[in-house]
Amino acid sequence: MTKNMLSYTGGGLVGLIILILDLIVIFEVINSTRSIQGKIGWSLLVFFFPVVGIIIYFLFSNRAEHNAHYEAIA
């Protein structure tokens, strides 16, 4: 019985890491300067295909161009 419980913790940890990375990507997309269609497209890609979506996003999304740039107030 202990062997069965230990075999499930690896999948749970990997699943948790993928969930955290998905949330990071979705929040980054929402806060970006992309068009609404671009935001919806990237979010749906990552939502429906989590692992492949993250890989495609980090390879082809041109993150530096679409990141919101903040300036200091003072």
Domain layout of the chain by residue ranges: 22-64
45: number of Cβ within 10 Å: 18
Crossing angle between the packed helical segments 2-30 and 36-48, to the nearest 10 degrees: 170
Residue 46: band (very low, low, confident or very high) from pLDDT cuts 50, 70, 90:
very high
C-alpha–C-alpha distance, residues 18 and 9, integer Å: 14
Q: Are 26 and 47 spatial neighbours (Cβ–Cβ below 8 Å)?
A: yes
C-alpha–C-alpha distance, residues 28 and 62, integer Å: 12
Q: Global pTM?
A: 0.71
Per-residue model confidence as pLDDT tens digits over 18-29 = 999 999 999 989
Segment of 10-14, 32-36, 69-73 carrying the highest mean pLDDT: 32-36
Reading the block at residue 19, the tokens are 């969930």
